[in-house]
Amino acid sequence: MSVIESLLSIDKNLHVSVYLQITNGIIGHIRRGTLKPESALPSSRVLAKALNVHRKTVVAAYDELYAQSWIDVYPRKGIFVAKNLPDITPKPLSESKEASGFPVSTFFDVNDQRVPFPNLFKPGAERNLIFNDGFPDTRLAPVELLVREYRRFGNYRFTSKYLMYGSEQGSENLRNELARFLSDTRGLQVSPDDILITKGVQMAIYLVAQILLSKNDVVIAADPGYPGANEVFEQAGAQLELVPVDEYGIDLNAVEAICKKKKVKLLYVIPHHHRPTTITLSSERRMQLLELAMKYRFAIIEDDYDYDFHYSSSPILPLASADYYGSVIYVGSFCKTIAPGIRIGFAVAPQNLMVQLKRLRRMIDRQGEQLLEEAMAKLLKNGDIGRHLKKANKIYHERRDVLCQLLNEQLSNHVSFKIPDGGFAIWMKYLNNLNAASVSEKAAEMGLSLSNGSDYFYNNDNHSFIRLGFASLNLKELEEGVGILNKAVNKLI
């Protein structure tokens, strides 16, 4: 009996057909190296007998293997594992790879095959110039400060305590500093116990959604809005109710109309520079929203992710700073302050919710990166973060102004927009029946990546809006970008 026969186990009671069991089994052995390239396989007659199956079944398996290029068949010589195997060698990561590769397991009943992260940006043809969704410029990230703090961790006596398991709530030093920072910058009077350190705003939203929401609970969110939050609510089983956004923020009449019809559990709001519209919720609306929450007993996730970036006017204090009954969960982030890849965020929540948030956080990943959290605490404490924010705000302010000026000079007949108070992007409407997807397509041909706009609206890909991130491009790049955009638009008119 050859090796292969002893390695294959066939179960005729399975839902998976026998020929596929043989196929997958052999692929598995090839992939794992049990069967080496160019090694001989038994004839279909021999293998069929050994496995006690019909010869036609083995022939079908060999046909499949041949079709997939796993084996070579040489008439009169026999059947061999292919010399050049289809997909064994490690390959660079790319979006298109998920379909190929490791055999799909028939063990897992994974029905939900949605892949909800489409590539919105068609890569530019020649040069990689991108108007992104609104991210900070990583070239300005204060990495040297972070590295300076990490160097201090070389001292064992100092570092040892941060190498053990710690609190699932996050570094106590960081929560102390953050309580002070939130008080200084946002008028939020919270104690370190009211703060949970998370991996970015994303984790804060996930944790709150998982704890608060049950199947079919109603969640109100804006449309256009932020799919990164919407999909978390839907993952938790919630039913989304969408409300429009006007120049003062989300439409509270629409919110109340829903509350009158249905029990609402949660409302998600981005109070500053709402994504994608860049609208800031007015003070009046903030007070009205808190009153609605009180009246209809819903909770609010206040996602104030870019509070720290203001250019024209002062920020408005958070809803949370005027919330005396514990309706608001305030979530924020330093991912825009340091860099998107440095994942530090936080949630401020009432104590009874905090107990459960901590419980779930511990189940998910036990705790955050303690060294990173300690480094962050130091940067807050010694004022480095404050100084960096001042510097970055000045640069982004200028970039915002330059982008708006360039658009006004070159494209004023084809686009309209309002200058945003802060944040990282402008929200622009193409005029003259121009469509976001076609402009994106045309610009890509000319070396500029632009969003095709497919993730702004919940149900509408085909529209004329686009978010233009200005923060990560310097003045020269902005000029170049608007130049290409201008050409692209003019080709489409």
Which of residues 37, 86, 350, 447 is near a copy of itself by CB under 8 A? 350
Using the rule CB under 8 A, is 277 a contact of a copy of itself?
no
Binding of a copy of itself at residue 190 (CB under 8 A)? yes
**Residue labelled with tokens 């310097």:** 474
Dihedral sign for Cα atoms in the order 138, 139, 144, 147: positive
| Binding status of residue 3 toward a copy of itself by CB under 8 A | no
The nearer residue to a copy of itself, 113 or 313, going by C-beta atoms, is 113
Decide: is 360 part of the binding site for a copy of itself (CB under 8 A). yes
Give me the residues paired with residue 328 across strands. 300
200 binds a copy of itself (CB under 8 A): yes
Write out the binding residues for a copy of itself, residues 117-146 only, by CB under 8 A: 117, 135, 138-139, 141, 143-144, 146
Q: What's the closest the beta carbon of residue 392 comes to a copy of itself, in angstroms?
A: 14
Backbone angles phi, psi at 277, to 5 degrees: -80, -15
Does residue 88 bind a copy of itself (CB under 8 A)? yes
- Are 293 and 267 a contacting pair, CB within 8 Å? yes
Q: Does residue 458 bind a copy of itself (CB under 8 A)?
A: no
93-122 positions binding a copy of itself, by CB under 8 A: 93, 97-98, 101-108, 110, 112-117
Q: Among residues 43 and 167, whose Cβ is nearest to a copy of itself?
A: 167
Binds a copy of itself (CB under 8 A): choice among 12, 77, 119, 165: 165
Q: Which of 3, 17, 32, 284 binds a copy of itself (CB under 8 A)?
A: 32
Least spacing, CB of residue 414 vs a copy of itself, in Å: 30
Q: Which of 406, 405, 436, 404 is nearest to 420 (CA)?
A: 404
What's the closest the beta carbon of residue 343 comes to a copy of itself, in angstroms? 6
Choose, by CB under 8 A, the member of 231, 445, 477, 479 that binds a copy of itself.
Answer: 231
Kindly write out the interface string for residues 371-400 of this chain, putting x where it contacts a copy of itself by CB under 8 A and - elsewhere.
Answer: xx----------------------------
Stretch that binds a copy of itself, among 196-204, 269-277, 444-452, 454-462 (CB under 8 A): 196-204
Q: Does 257 bind a copy of itself (CB under 8 A)?
A: no
Query: Is 206 a binder of a copy of itself (CB under 8 A)?
Result: yes
Give the span between the Cα atoms of 249 and 284, in whole angstroms.
Answer: 10
Give 111 or 433: the residue with its C-beta nearer to a copy of itself: 111
321 binds a copy of itself (CB under 8 A): yes
Q: Which residue, 100 or 433, is less far from a copy of itself as judged by CB?
A: 100
Q: Does residue 408 bind a copy of itself (CB under 8 A)? A: no
Inter-CA distances, 407 with 311, 392, 429, 434, 482, Å: 19, 22, 12, 16, 7
Contact call for residue 21 and a copy of itself (CB under 8 A) = yes
353 binds a copy of itself (CB under 8 A): yes
The answer to whether residues 245 and 276 touch, using CB atoms and an 8 Å cutoff, is no
Q: Hey, which residues between 414 and 443 contact a copy of itself (CB under 8 A)?
A: none
* C-alpha span between 184 and 162 (Å, rounded): 27
C-alpha 70: how far from chain center: 37
Is 91 one of the binding residues for a copy of itself (CB under 8 A)? Answer: yes
How many residues can be counted in the chain?
493
Q: Closest separation between CB of residue 83 and a copy of itself, Å?
A: 18
Among 363, 405, 432, 493, binds a copy of itself (CB under 8 A): 363
Name residues contacting a copy of itself, limited to 144-163 (CB under 8 A): 144, 146-147, 150-151, 153-154, 156, 159-160, 162-163
Residue 309: CB atoms within 10 A of its CB come to 25
What minimum distance in Å lies between the beta carbon of 93 and a copy of itself? 5
State which residue, 203 or 279, has the beta carbon closest to a copy of itself: 203
Pairing of strands 239-243, 218-222: parallel
